[in-house]
Structure 1
Amino acid sequence: MAGGDRALSPAGTVRRGAAGGAEARDRHVRLGLGLAASLLLAGLLGGAFLVLLLTSDAVPDPLAVLADPYLRAVTGFTLLQAGLSALLSVAGGVPLGLALHRTRFAGRALVLRLLLLPQVLPVLVGALGIVAVWGFNGLVSDALAALGLARINVYGLAGILLAHAFFNLPLVARMVVGALDGVPAERWKLAGQLGLGRLATFRIVEAPALRAVLPGAFGLVFMLCATSFTLVLVLGGGPAASTLQVAIYKALSLDFAAGNAVALCLVQVSLTALVLLALSRLPGREAGGFTLGAAPRRYDRPSRLASAADTAVLFLGLLFVGAPFAAILLGGLGSDLGPLLANPAVHRATLTSLVVGLCAASLAVLLSLALLAAGRERPGSAFEIGPSLVLVVPPVVVGAGWFLVLRQVTDVYAAAPYVVVATNAAMSVPFVTRIVGPALAAAHAGQDRLARSLGLFGLARWRLVDWPAARRPLTLAFAFAFALSLGDLGAIALFGSPDFQTLPFLLYQRLGSYRSTDGEGLALLLGVVCLALMLLAERGAAPSVRRPLA
């Protein structure tokens, strides 16, 4: 027996050595891919500014930047509108989320799906819907005029706040519903057994869940509004309502002031980094407590007055979110769609948008998978933190940096497609990693030991272990990145030209030339494509990703 053991030991050693070598090679490949993706992102986001700082005479004096009254005014308005937008979104999203959780009715799942749509609707299309409902000639103004009241001026701070609330109030509501769904079922049952009223249930059960999620919700909305570009560009109404990103765009496209653009870019990046740092300091959501795993179910029985209040909140919230969609649909159907769809410029812009979106989404998925693979080998490293840092540099800032660099060495517009694709891909990476990452982490936690014992590494492991777990989330992530790129006006606003136009750029041009009828038709076309893409993807991903974006 001992001799047999000794006879088998060399073969066992060889097998273990071969497995160890394959595992080491697999680890090196993962880390290499993650490093390459990180360097690509870092080069795209920071390379242009590094070159500018080293070679350009346009870099301003920091003391002069701080003393510039225009820069202080723009920065102050950026913070003001972001803070007010976050407050308005939270103030409306919390009651709507509570009403949705307290009320059970047919079509509730459809309502939750409707609250997802503003997150994927192209921003420019949403802005047109806001104008159609709340603008000077909009539905609300017409109703006010019929009552003898003044019409609404939607341009300026008021319009910016309305538009930001339209996009972000549903996001907060979904986060509130998700937080309440995370409360253990035993707490709801105990509250029902004790006969707690509406106020007592709110104080004891609902309020702790809200306290855990609201700081993060407020910070997220503040971050999104502080980096808003398209809404402010369309609804700002003039220099008095200009944010840093809009000021960067105007400094390059209208004033041709490279020094001002660099100064504004540096302030924007610094401001965004400070906001992200503050968000990272916020406490995370606490565990819900002991639970047997039962599905959450409410046992409280509200009064008729409380039920009527919840119904009113639901009606007003859904009317606020749904009215711009209805306005976009009606305005697009009322436009002259036949000649518009037959226009060769629309064909070229549509084809360009699809190609740019396809390339950007594919690149975003590849970069995200590389970062996730390396992050699995080095938890807590820059591979995991890097995708969040992408949000520090908004797309207009990235485009501005490369615009200033490329014009010194080549024809800017010849390089435009590559810069737009790369920028849109980079901006999608944080969302793709958040959608795909949990599924890959679950597969790793549940099957890693078995895969290692079977000697599954590299492509074999991806095919048998990772791909089945990530297939549905990847479908959703690809569609989300595709929709983001289709509706983006950030980079293309600087690099667009008569020879390189996407649908958002063409739509913005038509609006700028006061061809509002064409704009309504293009908005309908762009909105339908993006929304259909996301709805199909979310339906296909539903079995494994329950609430991917809330």
Structure 2
Amino acid sequence: MARRAQPLGAATGLGLGAAALALALGLGTIAAVALRAEGPARLGAADLAAVRFTLLQALASAALSTLLAVPVARALARRRFPGRGVLITLLGAPFILPVIVAVMGLLAVFGRSGLLSAALAPLGLGPVDIYGPGGVVLAHVFFNLPLATRLVLQGWLAIPAERFRLAAALGFGPAERFAHIERPMLREVLPGAFLVVFLICLTSFAVALTLGGGPRATTVELAIYQAFRFDFDLGRAAWLALIQVGLSVIAALSAFAIAVPGAFGPGLGRPVAQLGTDGRWLRLQDAAWLTLATLFLILPLAMVALRGLPGLAGLPPSVYAAALRSLAVALGSAALTLALALPMAIAIDRLKGLRGRAVQAAGTLTIAASPLVMGTGLFILLFPLADPRLLALPVTATVNAAMSLPFALRALMPAVAEAERSHGRLADSLGMTGGARLRLMLMPRLRRPVGFTLGLSAALSMGDLGVIALFSDPGHATLPLQLYGLMAAYRMESAAGAALLLLVLSLGLFWIFDRGGRTHAEP
């Protein structure tokens, strides 16, 4: 059957241009740094140790996050209780939480003077120290357990309820249901969830900077930072960045090879109803998993709020100035993310096939790139044109947009495909092309994912502590960098207040954009 006409030629061209820009940001900046290097680069024993630790902590973090996500997602899928929707929404909070704020919350709970150490003291047990490899893995699980749970939960909800009804009719117990229904779904879903978490942990910087940093807890991204900051060894930084991209590509290919397609077939769209003789023990088990997961997520956030309230009143003016700079960077990054992601999503839908997958790969590649190398490459390319000190905030916004691009595409691509599938032929018959098609047909149906994309990219940029830590001077510091400086100076009361301010601004930006996208949105 012949394919219908593809009228959005301009949008497709913009999408191809955006894909080329994303590719240039991901790989072209590595080339710019490598070409500027003086002489061949050599990786020392410390660099190889950083690569080894990066792999080990990413594997451990991804394994723990996905394995713990299974019982939590199963409990959410088969139990109905008051506040279930709120809890599922809460699972999205750690992913958009500023890393340095989360670290302060984790220290308040698991640090040497935290709640856990205070609880262990009467038992004669020493204080807990989360600095080092254990703390890096703990922080990554805090960030990524909710994300993995959401991904696995989607797999559970995709199982037709009729399969569970049939299992109940056949008298299947929990073991049989797991073997015949749940395990095939997990075989399909877990490799993808593991890959997402692994890639996020592979490029970890702020967590390693605050909780690691020693010889035993240096990630590749932190080694790149040290190569720039202390040695200005551009060749070594470029090689480390290429190794990081290579590890990400190998991980992606391995996950795709392990995953298997689902074989459940369509259902009637009914909600999952876990029928059968579960018994009281399984209900208590589900309640225990949900309680532990909720406490693990809420306690650090609650401690940030409790410790930050007294420090809000005494914040120095520099903190509020940094907050305004962070807001400007976040809004600019959100706008740029949408400007790149929307035409790319349209181009992916219009091109399909190999060309569409190539555009998607270019947009996804940035998740494996080094933000520090990306920022340095941009500085090298722009140095002849402007004063580098004036470029710190624009470059930071650009890099943050590139890092948010894979998540924006994930949100926009299905919505664009559904809008074209349901209304594309009608738009074709009315002769809608270009801007009119985008404004009248696509955008009314993309309000939700567009609002989510803007909110997510703004929140991620608001809490970013990456490029700005490498190039900014004190007069151009963003709020995360200002907070890190307060922590380094042991001004903990002011740091707690700044952390609460950063938390409120990040979550507030996400809520405003996401809520705005849901208002008057068309199905």
TM-score, structure 2 as length reference: 0.93
| C-alpha distance 58-486 of structure 1, shift in aligned 2 (>3 A) | farther
**TM-fit CA distance, 1:259:** 3.6
Q: Match for residue 364 of structure 1? A: 337
Q: Match for residue 29 of structure 2? A: 48
Letter in 2 for 1:313: W
**Following superposition of structure 1 onto structure 2, how do residues 429-448 of structure 1 map, counting pairs within 5 Å?**
429-448=405-424
Q: What is the CA–CA distance in structure 1 between the aligned matches of 2:180 and 2:515, rounded to whole Å?
A: 36
1:216, 1:282 within 8 Å by CA — same for their partners in 2? no
2:193 counterpart of 1:217: yes
**TM-fit CA distance, 1:298:** 2.3
1:94 to 49, 70, 81: 70
1:395, 1:490 within 8 Å by CA — same for their partners in 2? yes
Q: Match for residue 9 of structure 1? A: none
Q: What is the CA–CA distance in structure 2 between the aligned matches of 1:162 and 1:248, rounded to whole Å?
A: 23
Q: Match for residue 349 of structure 2? A: 376
Q: What is the CA–CA distance in structure 1 between the aligned matches of 2:121 and 2:379, rounded to whole Å?
A: 46
Unaligned runs of 5+ in 2: none
| C-alpha distance 266-204 of structure 1, shift in aligned 2 (>3 A) | closer
1:175 to 151, 174, 179: 151
1:30, 1:374 within 8 Å by CA — same for their partners in 2? yes
Q: Match for residue 79 of structure 1? A: 55
**TM-fit CA distance, 1:470:** 0.7
| C-alpha distance 386-82 of structure 1, shift in aligned 2 (>3 A) | same
**TM-fit CA distance, 1:424:** 1.0
**Following superposition of structure 1 onto structure 2, how do residues 271-420 of structure 1 map, counting pairs within 5 Å?**
271-283=247-259, 285-286=261-262, 288-333=264-309, 335-340=310-315, 343-380=316-353, 381=355, 382-403=358-379, 411-420=387-396
Q: Match for residue 521 of structure 1? A: 497
Alpha-carbon deviations, 1:313-339, whole Å to 9, x = none?
221121112111111111112x32112
Q: What is the CA–CA distance in structure 2 between the aligned matches of 1:351 and 1:285, rounded to whole Å?
A: 47
Q: Match for residue 467 of structure 2? A: 491
**TM-fit CA distance, 1:358:** 0.8
1:248, 1:400 within 8 Å by CA — same for their partners in 2? no
1:360, 1:482 within 8 Å by CA — same for their partners in 2? yes
**TM-fit CA distance, 1:362:** 0.4
1:141, 1:150 within 8 Å by CA — same for their partners in 2? yes
Alpha-carbon deviations, 1:100-124, whole Å to 9, x = none?
2232211111111111111111111
**Following superposition of structure 1 onto structure 2, how do residues 428-507 of structure 1 map, counting pairs within 5 Å?**
428-507=404-483
**TM-fit CA distance, 1:466:** 0.4
Corresponding residue SS for 1:240: coil
Q: What is the CA–CA distance in structure 1 between the aligned matches of 2:16 and 2:128, rounded to whole Å?
A: 52
**TM-fit CA distance, 1:237:** 4.6
**TM-fit CA distance, 1:401:** 3.1
Letter in 2 for 1:363: L
**TM-fit CA distance, 1:249:** 0.8
Moved more, 251-260 or 218-227: 251-260
Letter in 2 for 1:151: P
2:138 counterpart of 1:162: yes
Q: What is the CA–CA distance in structure 2 between the aligned matches of 1:45 and 1:175, rounded to whole Å?
A: 26
Corresponding residue SS for 1:415: helix
Q: Match for residue 12 of structure 1? A: none
Q: What is the CA–CA distance in structure 2 between the aligned matches of 1:291 and 1:193, rounded to whole Å?
A: 17
1:59, 1:263 within 8 Å by CA — same for their partners in 2? no
Alpha-carbon deviations, 1:336-379, whole Å to 9, x = none?
21121xx3212211111111111111011011112122223311
Q: What is the CA–CA distance in structure 2 between the aligned matches of 1:403 and 1:156, rounded to whole Å?
A: 32
Moved more, 429-438 or 373-382: 373-382
Larger Rg: 1
Q: What is the CA–CA distance in structure 2 between the aligned matches of 1:149 and 1:55, rounded to whole Å?
A: 53
Alpha-carbon deviations, 1:73-132, whole Å to 9, x = none?
111011011111112112221111122223221111111111111111111111111111
Alpha-carbon deviations, 1:30-63, whole Å to 9, x = none?
2321232123223333333323444532442xxx
1:258, 1:404 within 8 Å by CA — same for their partners in 2? no
TM-score, structure 1 as length reference: 0.88
Q: What is the CA–CA distance in structure 2 between the aligned matches of 1:59 and 1:444, rounded to whole Å?
A: 51
Q: What is the CA–CA distance in structure 1 between the aligned matches of 2:518 and 2:156, rounded to whole Å?
A: 20
Corresponding residue SS for 1:499: helix
| C-alpha distance 437-543 of structure 1, shift in aligned 2 (>3 A) | farther
Q: What is the CA–CA distance in structure 1 between the aligned matches of 2:377 and 2:248, rounded to whole Å?
A: 16
1:188, 1:299 within 8 Å by CA — same for their partners in 2? yes
Q: What is the CA–CA distance in structure 2 between the aligned matches of 1:206 and 1:293, rounded to whole Å?
A: 18
Letter in 2 for 1:505: L
**What is the aligned residue count?**
516
Give me the identity figure in percent.
Answer: 41
2:103 to 127, 133, 147: 127
Q: What is the CA–CA distance in structure 2 between the aligned matches of 1:244 and 1:422, rounded to whole Å?
A: 22
Q: What is the CA–CA distance in structure 2 between the aligned matches of 1:103 and 1:164, rounded to whole Å?
A: 27
Moved more, 207-216 or 45-54: 45-54
Unaligned runs of 5+ in 1: 1-19, 546-550
1:267 to 231, 239, 243: 243
**TM-fit CA distance, 1:407:** 6.0
Letter in 2 for 1:348: A
**TM-fit CA distance, 1:191:** 2.0
**TM-fit CA distance, 1:480:** 0.8
2:511 counterpart of 1:530: no
2:455, 2:511 within 8 Å by CA — same for their partners in 1? no
